[in-house]
Structure 1
Amino acid sequence: MNTKYIDLINQTFDFPQSEFALENNKLFFHDIDLNKLVEVYGAPLKFTYLPQISNNINRAKKWFEKAFLKHNYKGYYNYCYCTKSSHFKHILDEALKNDIHIETSSTFDIDIVENLKKTGKINNETYIICNGFKREQYITNIARLINNGHQNCIPVIDNYEEINLLSNEINGNFDIGIRIASEEEPKFEFYTSRLGIGYKNIVPFYNRQIKDNPQVKLKMLHFFINTGIRDNAYYWNELLKCLKVYTSLKKVCPSLDSLNIGGGFPIKSSLAFDFDYEYMVDEIVNQIKQACEEEGVDVPNIFTEFGSFTVGESGGAIYEVLYQKQQNDREKWNMINSSFITTLPDTWAINKRFVMLPINRWNSSYERVLLGGLTCDSDDYYNSEQHINAIYLPKYDKDKPLYVGFFNTGAYQETIGGFGGLQHCLIPNPKHILIDKDEQGNIITTLFKEQQKSEDLLEILGYKKEPLVEENIEILETENNLQLADK
């Protein structure tokens, strides 16, 4: 009978897959022996496989290059990375190896941009697309960047007041974009995005505040769909509405030459994931060209803003199953040695699913289980996979440790979880490992951060020792030493 875990996977999916392979009953991820990783660093741990960032950037570039050639598209393509997906230096360093640009969303992003300029990672030719609702300090930081010579910084106008706020602080002329307030998918609780300016108001807004303003030049229309780029009627309908705005605006605004199709590609969330990226890129380019030809305007340069697609598939987390609790006749709880709420907060907040696989014991028989975290919160669990509506893992055996991996977790989880800060029930951040390859293809691992210690959390909470107490201890020790010397 086919009762082993490997049998279940082979019967359910095409396996192995490009990033996953099995050798000697052990799981490999991009040629990385995950069991060896646990042997060296322990669990729980998080890891970032840096080469996958460059892999995905260059995949997207090739799709657009191919579509441009096929359709004889006369514009150019710019790949932007959304820093909000992961602000870590090692992420930006890897992404910027690939001649890309940056999209920001808040004040401190500009400080990161300025740091990258100082270290030579970017220069004045790099586009900095500034999105988001702009408070006073964000405006000031954008103005500082432009005033210091970064003319390729394009603040994307989110509301009617931002042009005046920027004009008051920027010396000389500057370029801007306008964000469309797209209509949300029908399942949303509201109809229109809170960000940007409504479809019908954009041309009047241009005529009223931009057309005769000698300081400001409109260069970009920004189109963002909250659900990302997906092959469904909702996406194509919103894209066509956006293109109608673009062509109408282009007829009265000759300086407009770029369309930013924000909203990222989906990433792999199960072994059954199937998304035709190349078709989607081809059809997007085709529709943009057709709409512009029909209205007799030049095609725009295309910008994309990929955050999760850039960094998501580089990340992973590994936990150990500590114990199994049989709570009734049907439910078995495998308790992990960490917390889903704190380390993979999207599983709790938006019911997101990641690729989940055991990293050892694939030749063991399997059972249906629930996975529980260590916090005392009833929501700290992971109980279903999209493809089979359940979790199946090798049977628990207290004498044979079982390790479970979650993959493609590289976007948002650290920042949403509050990396380096307080965690729910004071569960510490796991150890974090960076994985790279040298020129010969040898795998290199580096410890980025140790697991949080109790003193790290206590200091944040205000429980550090009082300086006066420490001074008193030193005085007493000195007096004791003098007394000993006298004797």
Structure 2
Amino acid sequence: MNTKYIDLINQTFDFPQDEFKLAEHKLRFHNVNLMQLVEQYGAPLKFTYLPQISNNIQRAKQWFTAAIEKYDYKGKYNYCYCTKSSHFKHVLHEALKNDIHIETSSAFDIDIVENLKREGKIDNNTYIISNGFKRAQYVTNIARLINEGHKNCIPIIDNYEEIDLLSQEINGNFNIGIRIASEEEPKFEFYTSRLGIGYKNIVPFYKNQIQNNEKVELKMLHFFINTGIRDNAYYWNELLKCLKVYTSLKKICPSLDSLNIGGGFPIKNSLAFDFDYEYLVDEIVNQINITCEEEGVEVPNIFTEFGSFTVGESGGAIYEVLYQKQQNDREKWNMINSSFITTLPDTWAINKRFIMLPINRWNDSYERVLLGGLTCDSDDYYNSEQHMNAIYLPKYNKEKPLYIGFFNTGAYQETIGGFGGLQHCLIPTPKHVLINKDAEGNITTELFCEQQKSEDLLKILGYDPKPDINTTQTINKNANIVLADK
């Protein structure tokens, strides 16, 4: 009988896969020995496999290069990384090895850009696409960057006042883009994105505020779809509406030469994941080419902003199953030694699916379970609603520790979870390990941060740090002496 966990996986999925394989009944991720990682660093832990960041960037570049050559497309392609997906230095440094550009979304992002410039990771040729609603500090920081010579910083206008605000602080001429307020999917409770300017208002906005403004030059039209790039009627309909705006603008605005098709690619969330990236890129380039040819205008340079696609598939989290609780005749709860709410907040907030697999014991029999976190919140769980289907794991055995991994978690989880700060029920942030390859292709690891200690959290909360144990003993001893004297 096929009763082992490996049998279940082989029957259900095409396995092994490029990033997942077994060695001695234990899971490997990009050939990283995960049990060895656990033995060295303990669990819970988070990890970032840095080479996957460069792998995905290069994949996207190859898809666009192939499509541009196929259709003899006259524009250029520029890959931008959305820093909001993960602001960590190790992520930016790895991504910037690949001749890419940066998209920012708030004031402090510009401070990161300036830090990268000082380190020589980027220069004035790097495009800085500044998105988002621009409060005073963001405007000031953008202006400072441009005033110091970074002319390839392009603020994307989100509302009607931003041109005036930027003009007051920027010395000389500067380039801008305009963000389209795309219509949301029918399932949304509102019709139009709160970000950007509506389709029908863009040409009048250009004529009223930009066309005769000698200080400002429109270079980019920014098109963002909240659901990301998908092969469905909604996406293609919105793209075609965007292209109509682009061609209408181009006819009266010769300086317009770039189209930013923001809204990223999905990432793998199941062993059954199947997405034809290459076809989507091919068809996007084809549609832009056809529309511009029909309207008699030059094709734009294409910019993309990939955040989750860049960094998501580099991340993972490993937990130990501490205990199993049989709560009724059907529900077995495997309790992990951390919290989903705090370490993988997207599983709780938006029912986001991640790949979940055991690290060890693949040759053992399996059972259906629910996964519970350590907080006292009833929503701290991971079940079939988040997972693609029912959750099966090797049977719990208190004599045989079971470790489970969540994969492709590298985007947003640290920033949403509040890395380094307070967590629900004061569950500590796990240790974080960076995984890389040396020049010979050997796997290397580095501890990026330790697990939070109680002192870290008490300090944030305003309490005195825990006194040294020797000092405490001295104080207690002196107290006894005084008491005895009395």
TM-score bin, normalised by smaller chain? over 0.9
Q: Secondary structure at the match of 1:180?
A: strand
Q: Does 1:187 align with 2:187?
A: yes
Partner of 1:452 in structure 2?
A: 452
Q: Does 1:45 align with 2:45?
A: yes
* Cα distance change on mapping 1:303 and 1:122 into 2, 3 Å: same
Where does structure 1 differ by over 4 angstroms across 4 or more consecutive aligned residues? 385-388
Q: Does 1:436 align with 2:423?
A: no
| Kept after mapping to 2: 8 A contact 1:5/1:366 | yes
Distance 1:258 1:389 in 2: 42
Partner of 2:164 in structure 1?
A: 164
String of CA shifts for 1:30-57, please: whole Å, max 9, x gaps: 0100000000000000000000000000
Residue 387 of structure 1: how far off its partner (Å): 7.0
Distance 1:282 1:464 in 2: 60
* Cα distance change on mapping 1:388 and 1:199 into 2, 3 Å: closer
How do 1:77-156 and structure 2 match up within 5 A? 77-156=77-156
* Cα distance change on mapping 1:446 and 1:465 into 2, 3 Å: closer
Distance 1:249 1:26 in 2: 57
Q: Secondary structure at the match of 2:156?
A: strand
Distance 2:154 2:108 in 1: 16
* Cα distance change on mapping 1:400 and 1:139 into 2, 3 Å: same
Residue 386 of structure 1: how far off its partner (Å): 6.3
Residue 89 of structure 1: how far off its partner (Å): 0.3
Partner of 1:173 in structure 2?
A: 173
Partner of 1:196 in structure 2?
A: 196
* Cα distance change on mapping 1:181 and 1:66 into 2, 3 Å: same
Partner of 2:63 in structure 1?
A: 63
Distance 1:86 1:48 in 2: 11
Partner of 2:483 in structure 1?
A: none
Partner of 1:217 in structure 2?
A: 217
| Kept after mapping to 1: 8 A contact 2:27/2:359 | yes
Residue 465 of structure 1: how far off its partner (Å): 5.1
Distance 1:455 1:143 in 2: 40
Amino acid in structure 1 at the alignment position of 2:464: K
Distance 2:216 2:343 in 1: 44
String of CA shifts for 1:243-275, please: whole Å, max 9, x gaps: 000000000000000000000000000000000
How do 1:241-320 and structure 2 match up within 5 A? 241-320=241-320
TM-score by length of 2: 0.96
Amino acid in structure 1 at the alignment position of 2:462: G
String of CA shifts for 1:149-188, please: whole Å, max 9, x gaps: 0000000000000000000000000000000000000111
Residue 361 of structure 1: how far off its partner (Å): 0.3
Percent of aligned pairs with the same residue? 84
Distance 1:312 1:153 in 2: 26
Distance 1:465 1:169 in 2: 44
| Kept after mapping to 1: 8 A contact 2:270/2:388 | no
Partner of 1:484 in structure 2?
A: none
How do 1:282-361 and structure 2 match up within 5 A? 282-361=282-361
Distance 2:27 2:450 in 1: 24
String of CA shifts for 1:43-96, please: whole Å, max 9, x gaps: 000000000000000000000000000000000000000000000000000000
Distance 2:234 2:14 in 1: 30
Residue 189 of structure 1: how far off its partner (Å): 1.2
The Cα RMSD (Å) is 1.9
Residue 389 of structure 1: how far off its partner (Å): 1.9
Q: Secondary structure at the match of 1:397?
A: coil
* Cα distance change on mapping 1:451 and 1:298 into 2, 3 Å: same
Distance 1:362 1:127 in 2: 47
| Kept after mapping to 2: 8 A contact 1:228/1:264 | yes
TM-score by length of 1: 0.96
Amino acid in structure 1 at the alignment position of 2:45: L
| Kept after mapping to 1: 8 A contact 2:370/2:383 | yes
Residue 384 of structure 1: how far off its partner (Å): 1.3
* Cα distance change on mapping 1:330 and 1:282 into 2, 3 Å: same
Gaps of 5+ in 1: 481-487
| Kept after mapping to 1: 8 A contact 2:321/2:334 | yes
Distance 1:256 1:371 in 2: 52
Amino acid in structure 2 at the alignment position of 1:309: F
Q: Secondary structure at the match of 1:68?
A: helix
Distance 2:188 2:430 in 1: 34
Partner of 2:482 in structure 1?
A: none
Residue 464 of structure 1: how far off its partner (Å): 1.5
Partner of 1:409 in structure 2?
A: 409
| Kept after mapping to 1: 8 A contact 2:458/2:465 | no
Residue 373 of structure 1: how far off its partner (Å): 0.0
Q: Does 1:14 align with 2:9?
A: no
Amino acid in structure 1 at the alignment position of 2:442: N
Distance 2:384 2:281 in 1: 32
Distance 2:214 2:166 in 1: 14
String of CA shifts for 1:346-378, please: whole Å, max 9, x gaps: 000000010000010001111100000000000
| Kept after mapping to 1: 8 A contact 2:455/2:466 | no
Q: Does 1:35 align with 2:35?
A: yes
Gaps of 5+ in 2: 480-486
Distance 1:124 1:387 in 2: 44
Amino acid in structure 2 at the alignment position of 1:432: H
Matched residue count: 477
Distance 1:215 1:66 in 2: 38
Amino acid in structure 2 at the alignment position of 1:174: F
| Kept after mapping to 2: 8 A contact 1:270/1:386 | no
Residue 385 of structure 1: how far off its partner (Å): 6.2
